[in-house]
Structure 1
Amino acid sequence: MINKLHHAAFRCRDSEQTRAFYEDFLELPLAHALTIAQTATGRATDVLHTFYEMSDGSYLAFFEAPDQPFEFKPQHDFDLHIALEVSKSDLLRKFEHGRRLGIETRGISDHAFIESIYFRDPNGYVVELAAPKPHPAFDRAAALALIKARPKTSDA
């Protein structure tokens, strides 16, 4: 059985720029870094793998892999984003801090069960900070009904 998220890993352009955003700005401490010189299949590589720790013990991780092609582009919120839970006071504090630093900062958006702000990290990923709001319990049956009622969009 799955217990919790250990880490979610993403590519990064530059480990120091990524560290400055996640550690200095978002206040996620750099917990670990390692170099990977050889893949599991024996291919030589030059990868730096970094881990930033969240308060629940899970991590955001990044691979700087200059020898591996990857299309870095600004991601649309619906395509890919990283959502991290914060308190309402931290949400407001980070909103002002991002604006002061000139970081792309959007929000505050009220999604009924959370309030959110959005930043763009140095790799083009959208990072959402979400503050929970009191709300009725989620209804799994209603959620499943919405999914089943949705017109099929692919042949998969």
Structure 2
Amino acid sequence: MAADTMRKIQTQGVHHITLMGADRQTSIDFWEGVLGMPFIFDQPNLDDPSQGHLYFDPGDGRLITIFTNEERKPDASRTSSETGAVHHIAFNVSQASFWQVAKRLDARGIRHSGPKDRGFMDSIYFQDPLGLTIELASYRFEPPEGCRHADVMIEAHRIRVERGDYNIDREHLADAIELLVSRSQQSLSTDRNPKDPYGRG
């Protein structure tokens, strides 16, 4: 096919993720009862009337949907991690919530990884009742006004690579945020370089 006839199909975000669930109540008890996602929509699976189709709001208005069947029982065996399979799903939580996760999972007897330092975020992993690995992740930064987390990440990546560092960490993020602010926000100053107003150097 000629390159001039090929066009991209531009995506604009995740619309929804659909998972194969067990019985209806297990889905409600986990997605709303553990992760706090409001249960917002309920109808049959329009392609298979033997299944229910439950919809949950993960917090950003996108959707997590679950196909359910009362004849299926929860199986906590690890879901496939073979090529082509879903390894895990990550959900965003605030720093305030993140540092409560281990304690709240412990209170339910749910095994977890404990907090993991990812440089640009904190993560914790555990499995849902059907063996799917869930990650709760919390960014360690807020993007500047008018920018997205992805904007900060790509600039931090470029800074990291230029410096020859192994992974993105807080310094790269801070420098990326400073760079984005200088690019996107105007100032009356003609020289916006760092200054020492204390006269010490």
TM tier, shorter chain? 0.7 to 0.9
Q: Which amino acid aligns with 1:113?
A: F
Q: Which amino acid aligns with 1:118?
A: Y
1:71-106 CA distance string (max 9 Å, x none): 973137785211001111111112211111111222
Structure (1/2) with the larger helix percentage: 2
Partner of 1:30: 39
Structure (1/2) with the larger strand percentage: 1
Asked if the contact 1:18/1:121 (under 8 Å) is kept, the reply is no
User: Which structure is higher in RCO with an 8 Å CA cutoff and minimum separation 6?
Assistant: 1
TM-score (structure 1 length as normaliser)? 0.74
Partner of 2:138: 131
Which stretch shifts more, 76-85 or 93-102?
76-85
CA gap 1:17/1:65 in 2 versus in 1, 3 angstroms? closer
Max Rg structure: 2
Secondary structure, counterpart of 1:89 in structure 2: helix
Q: Which amino acid aligns with 2:11?
A: I
| Structure 1 Cα separation of the partners of residues 138 and 81 of structure 2 | 17
Partner of 2:106: 99
Q: Which amino acid aligns with 2:156?
A: A
1:28-58 CA distance string (max 9 Å, x none): 111111113x63xxxx640111111022210
Partner of 1:73: 77
The total of aligned residue pairs comes to 134
Identity level (%):
24
Secondary structure, counterpart of 1:51 in structure 2: strand
Structure 1 spans left out of the alignment, 5+ residues: 143-156
Candidates 52, 56, 64, aligned match of 1:52: 56
Question: Runs ≥4 in structure 1, deviation > 6 angstroms?
Answer: none
Structure 2 spans left out of the alignment, 5+ residues: 1-9, 142-152, 162-201
Asked if the contact 2:57/2:64 (under 8 Å) is kept, the reply is yes
Partner of 1:89: 96
TM-score (structure 2 length as normaliser)? 0.58
